[in-house]
């Protein structure tokens, strides 16, 4: 019976759906995290009576035909890049992007990673780094004798030095944008890599047309809506149960057939 295999594909699809939802919920407190959503496609159809075929020698046409679907398959799991809420931390080196754009991070492999998580710190040499010690690009070094650090909305890093009235510019933070943000490859640790699907990075200073601004002393929270995710999980669970009921019903029908004498 086709219904057994069809219902099995439905159960597998809803299992993946729950896995995606659970990952969203697990990262509800991950700064800069973007929630994901599973999309599904119907499988091929078996033509029992092809639509549009001739039904007689006089040229009459079958208006609808008979097509039996064979189930469902995963189509994509894409990332929703809407802005998360901004949380004020008053930490000097916490930076949030208000709008579009990613911070650029130099990875140990030499590649450039991209992140929305701006929870930065200083290395022993005074370089601005991530929590794993990866350098923020372009490099920003804070002098040892700095008594204050300010990052303005356009990404300029200014320091107050003892004995000087005017602040001194020591670096410029730049942001990267992509034509298709959903095409970025997630590698963990809040980092993404450029792919052919994302397109090449378009780099500019914060506040440029199409780019967001930088807010110092704040971080961007996850854009996961817990209530919506729980609702989606309940719907996925019910869909899983209904597919299992189809398998149970198909089994009972087959059992009835085997008991015929």
Same domain, 30 and 135: no
Give the range of the structural domain holding residue 247, as residue numbers without chain letter: 2-81+224-258
Same domain, 64 and 115: no
Q: Which two tokens stand for residue 157?
A: 């890093």
Instruction: Kindly report whether the peptide bond that precedes residue 194 is cis, defined as omega within 30 degrees of 0.
Output: no
pLDDT tens sequence across 155-196: 999 998 877 778 889 889 999 999 999 899 999 989 999 999
Strand partners, 42: 72
Burial of 183 from C-beta contacts in 10 A (0-12 / 13-18 / 19+): middle
Same domain, 121 and 192: yes
- The model's pTM is 0.83
Split at pLDDT 50, 70, 90, the class of 73 is very high
Q: Which two tokens stand for residue 249?
A: 């019903």
pLDDT tens sequence across 121-162: 999 988 999 988 999 998 889 888 888 899 999 999 999 887
> CB-based contacts of 138: which residues, under 8 Å, 6+ apart?
104, 171, 172, 173, 174
Same domain, 51 and 151: no
Same domain, 133 and 177: yes
Q: Total structural domains in the chain?
A: 2
Q: Which two tokens stand for residue 160?
A: 């107050």
Same domain, 141 and 241: no
* SS3 assignment for the chain: CHHHHHHHHHHHHHHHHHHHHHHHHHCCCCCCCCCEEEEEEECCEEEEECCCCECCCCCCECCCCEEEECCEEEEEEEECCCCCCEEECCCCCEEEEECCCEEEEECCCCCEEEECCCECEECCCCEEECCCCCEEECCCECCCCEEEEEECCCCEEEEEECCCCCCEEEEECCEEECCCHHHCEEEECCEEECCCCCCCCEEECCCCCCCCEEEECEEECCCCCHHHHHHHHHHHHHHHHHHHHHHHHHHHHHHHHHCCC
Same domain, 26 and 139: no
Same domain, 77 and 182: no
Same domain, 228 and 216: no
Query: How confident is the model at residue 203, as a pLDDT?
Result: 94
| Higher pLDDT pick, 36 / 254 | 36
Query: How confident is the model at residue 41, as a pLDDT?
Result: 92
Same domain, 113 and 63: no
d(CA 122, CA 149): 12
Same domain, 106 and 148: yes
pLDDT above 80 for 80? yes
Same domain, 6 and 115: no
């Amino acid at each position: 019976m086709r219904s057994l295999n069809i219902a099995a594909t439905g159960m597998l699809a809803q299992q993946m759906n729950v896995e995606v939802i659970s990952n969203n919920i697990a990262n509800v407190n991950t700064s800069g995290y973007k929630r994901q959503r599973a999309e599904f496609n119907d499988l091929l159809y078996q033509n029992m009576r092809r639509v549009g075929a001739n039904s007689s020698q006089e040229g009459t046409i079958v208006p609808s035909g008979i097509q039996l679907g064979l189930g469902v398959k995963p189509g994509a799991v894409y990332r929703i890049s809407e802005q998360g809420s901004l949380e004020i931390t008053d930490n000097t080196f916490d930076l949030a992007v208000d709008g579009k754009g990613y911070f650029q991070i130099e990875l140990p492999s030499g590649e450039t990673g991209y992140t929305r998580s701006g929870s930065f710190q200083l290395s022993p040499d005074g370089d601005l780094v991530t929590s794993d010690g990866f350098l923020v690009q372009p490099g920003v070094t804070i002098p040892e004798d700095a008594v204050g650090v300010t990052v303005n909305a356009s990404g300029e890093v200014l320091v107050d030095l003892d004995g000087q009235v005017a602040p001194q510019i020591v670096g410029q933070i730049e942001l990267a944008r992509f034509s298709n943000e959903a095409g970025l490859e997630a590698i963990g640790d809040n980092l993404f890599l450029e792919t052919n699907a994302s397109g090449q990075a378009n780099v500019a200073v914060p506040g440029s047309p199409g780019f967001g601004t930088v807010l110092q002393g704040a971080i961007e929270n996850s854009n996961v809506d817990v209530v919506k995710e729980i609702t989606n999980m309940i719907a996925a669970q019910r869909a899983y149960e209904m597919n299992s009921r189809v398998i149970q019903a198909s089994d009972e029908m087959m059992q009835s057939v085997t008991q015929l004498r």
